[in-house]
Amino acid sequence: MEKICACAAKNKIAVSLGYSENDNHSLYLSQSFIGKDGKIKMNRRKIKPTHAERTIYGDGSGASLLNVVYEPGLGKVGALSCWEHSQPLLRYHTYSQGEEIHVAAWPPMNYYSSFPEGTALWSQCREGAHNLSTTHAIEGNCFVILASSFFTKAGVERMRLGDGQLYHIAGGGCAAIIAPDGHKLSTDLGEEEEGLVIADIDMSEILKVKAMLDVHGHYSRPDLLWLGVDYREKEQVRPESVDQLTKP
| Per-residue confidence in pLDDT tens, the chain, 248 aa | 999 999 999 999 999 999 999 999 999 999 999 999 999 999 999 999 999 999 999 999 999 999 999 999 999 999 999 999 999 999 999 999 999 999 999 999 999 998 888 888 999 899 999 999 999 999 999 999 999 988 888 888 888 887 777 778 888 899 999 999 999 999 999 888 899 999 999 999 999 999 999 999 999 999 999 999 999 988 888 887 766 555 55
Name the residue ranges covered by the structural domains of the chain.
58-233
Q: Which fold has domain 58-233?
A: Nitrilase/N-carbamoyl-D-aminoacid amidohydrolase (3.60.110)
What does the H/E/C string look like for the chain?
CHHHHHHHHHHCCCEEEEEEEEECCEEEEEEEEECCCCCEEEEEECCCCCHHHHHCECCCCHHHHCCEEEECCCEEEEEEEHHHHHCHHHHHHHHCCCCCEEEEEECCCCCHHHCCCCCCCHHHCHHHHHHHHHHHHHHHCCEEEEEECCECHHHHHHCCCCCCCCCCCCECCCCEEECCCCCECCCCCCCCCCCCCCCCCCCHHHHHHHHHCCCCCCCCCCCCCCCCCCCCCCCCCCCCCHHHCCCC
